[in-house]
Amino acid sequence: MKTIQTNKITEMIKEMCIEANYFLTEDMKHRLDASYTEETDPLGRQILSILQDNLKIAGEEMIPICQDTGMTVIFMEIGQDVHFEGGDLNAAIQEGVRQGYEEGYLRKSVVKDPIERVNTGDNTPAVIHYEIVPGDKVTITVAPKGFGSENMSRIFMLKPADGIEGVKNAILTAVKDAGPNACPPMVIGVGIGGTFEKAAILSKKALTRNVEERSDKEWVKALETEMLEKINALSIGPAGLGGHTTAFAVNIETYATHIAGLPVAVNICCHVNRHSKRSL
């Protein structure tokens, strides 16, 4: 049995909130640089160049990549042989978010009630997804999600008869409807299967996968490649001003589902696709 103090979780979450908002992951930086090289539309290249400059300035000046520092989404993969001491785990996670947004001078964007709309003042509560896994490690993924792109996300409860073509149409419909509103180039996370809520969680988690890696399922890998080509052929382009780089990647995750269902969730993320991942 491995014992972890909850104050260690608080400290890690604090650091990860700041890290995710100030720096892109290496795979995202590589994809941005490659897209600048590949983009042939002059205006598209100009926008991508501005995004590169923005990223450079954010790192040098230690300021957020984007003014919308998001609602914090956290995936906790907890080994079944881990024991926590020192207080409530959920409270420790929320305290880490509070400290991260205070010490990192990150914008507080969370309201306590969806109708009354009073700001909580510290960007809590975060949305936390827990998963118990074998072993004695804890893997934490912190993913701040801005709502310019979150608002463009969709879920489709398809019929099994809609098949793969229905899935393709759902993904393209979501991207077309999003247009420039999701701050393209986008990363498209797709969840296929499960139930209404499982598909949505799959699509969110798909955004945290390395954008330079494809699925190990052959049919999913082929679908990811095809959908990225079709999305970029829409010519929405960087900032929605035209060009061939509408999306950096399409990441798809799947799960078993009911014989009568085919849920498809499309979680769209903007060009920064922020996340930080650590284990202890």
Confidence of residue 206 (pLDDT cuts 50, 70, 90): very high
Summarize pLDDT for 115-142 with one digit per residue, the tens: 999 999 999 999 999 999 999 999 999 9
What pLDDT does 82 receive?
Answer: 98
Q: In whole angstroms, give the CA distance from residue 147 to residue 51.
A: 19
CA distances from 102 to 9, 95, 106 (A): 17, 11, 7
Dihedral sign, Cα of residue 28, residue 34, residue 40, residue 42: positive
Confidence of residue 69 (pLDDT cuts 50, 70, 90): very high
Query: How many Cβ atoms sit within 10 Å of the Cβ of residue 205?
Result: 20
CA distances from 30 to 24, 45, 79 (A): 10, 15, 32
Contact status, residue 165 vs residue 262, Cβ threshold 8 Å: no
What pLDDT does 275 receive?
Answer: 97
The domain spans of the chain are 2-21+65-145, 148-273
Summarize pLDDT for 9-47 with one digit per residue, the tens: 999 999 999 999 999 999 999 999 999 999 999 999 999
What pLDDT does 77 receive?
Answer: 98
- State the number of CA atoms in the 13 A half-sphere of 95 facing the CB: 12
HEC readout, the chain: CEEEEHHHHHHHHHHHHHHHHHCCCHHHHHHHHHHHHHCCCHHHHHHHHHHHHHHHHHHHHCCCCCCCCCEEEEEEEEECCEEEECCCHHHHHHHHHHHHHHHCCCCCCCECCCCCCCECCCCCCCEEEEEEECCCCEEEEEEEECHHHHCCCEEEEECHHHHHHHHHHHHHHHHHHHHHHHCCCEEEEEEEEECHHHHHHHHHHHCCCCCCCCCCCHHHHHHHHHHHHHHHCCCCCHHHCCCCCCEEEEEEEEEEECCCCEEEEEEEECCCCCCEEEEC
Section 237-243 average pLDDT: 96
Contact status, residue 170 vs residue 258, Cβ threshold 8 Å: no
Of residues 150, 179, 105, the one with CA closest to residue 266: 150
Section 173-187 average pLDDT: 97
Confidence of residue 210 (pLDDT cuts 50, 70, 90): very high
